[in-house]
Amino acid sequence: MHSNPQLVEFLEATSRGDRVSFAKLYEQTAPHLFALAQRILKRKDWAEEALQDSFLKIWKKAADFDPQKGRAFSWIATIVRNGCLDQLRKSSREPLSPEGIKEEWHAAHQAGPLDLAALSQSAKALQDCLKELSEEERNTLVLAYWRGLTQSEMAQNLDRPLGTVKTWVRRGLERLKGCLER
């Protein structure tokens, strides 16, 4: 799915106003994106709303996708994730208390029984490389992906000094990049 070449065709046809291809694009990606939206927003009704808004954006902006510059699924997932994070920021819809965020940080990378065989090569590499990071570095980066918290917000919610969080972020990203490029 995540590197499905058909998505590029669907996006290109969508940019020409082809509604059938748009429907196919939705059919193939919506289950993954709905899971993503629910993971961020924690509520089904908010996730539905975010998915609707995101697909309208995809309909309008499909022509901006350039297959030379990234994968189709990433382009779509970025729109959905940003839409969800905007929804959290703009409407103060923080579904988690600071305690909840702290718990989520501790559990951020206990992703459960991952079906490694089902992961794309790139996702598998990410999982492997995340394991090379310290627990704090790994959890901070993963929590940032799911919650979009700034470093200051992260420090506040985790009751840690801002400098400590910044160090986790910098070291974590440096090690992650080094590992992903190996």
Partner 1 sequence: MNQESAQERSYLAAQWVLGLLDESERAQALAAIDDQQEWRRAQTFWEDRFHGLTEGLKPETPPNHVWNHIERAVESQDAEGGLWRHFFQSVRFWRPVALMATAAALILFFYARAPVGPPAVAPTQVAMLGASDQAPQFMVAVDPQSHRMTVKAMGKVDLPSGKSLELWMLPGGDAPPLSCGVLPKEGKSSWEMKPKEIEAMKNGNGLAVSLEPEGGSATGGPTGPVLYQAQFVTL
Given the rule CB under 8 A, which residues bind partner 1? 2, 15, 17, 19, 22-23, 26, 30-32, 34-36, 38-39, 47-48, 51-52, 55-56, 59-64, 66, 69-71, 73-74, 77-78, 81, 85, 111-112, 114, 118-120, 122-127, 141-142, 144-152, 154, 169-170, 173-174, 176-177, 180
Contact status, residue 17 vs residue 31, Cβ threshold 8 Å: no
Q: How far is the CB of 104 from partner 1 (least distance, A)?
A: 14
Cα 12 from chain centroid?
23
| Residue 82 exposure: Cα atoms within 13 Å on the Cβ side | 10
Pick the closer one to partner 1 by CB: 64 or 103: 64
Nearest to 143 by CA among 101, 176, 98, 92: 101
Q: How far is the CB of 87 from partner 1 (least distance, A)?
A: 13
Q: How far is the CB of 164 from partner 1 (least distance, A)?
A: 14
Pick the closer one to partner 1 by CB: 120 or 164: 120
- Per DSSP, helices labelled H in 16-120 are 19-41, 44-61, 72-90, 98-107
Pick the closer one to partner 1 by CB: 55 or 105: 55
DSSP letter for each residue of 9-26: HHHHHHHTT-HHHHHHHH
Pick the closer one to partner 1 by CB: 102 or 169: 169
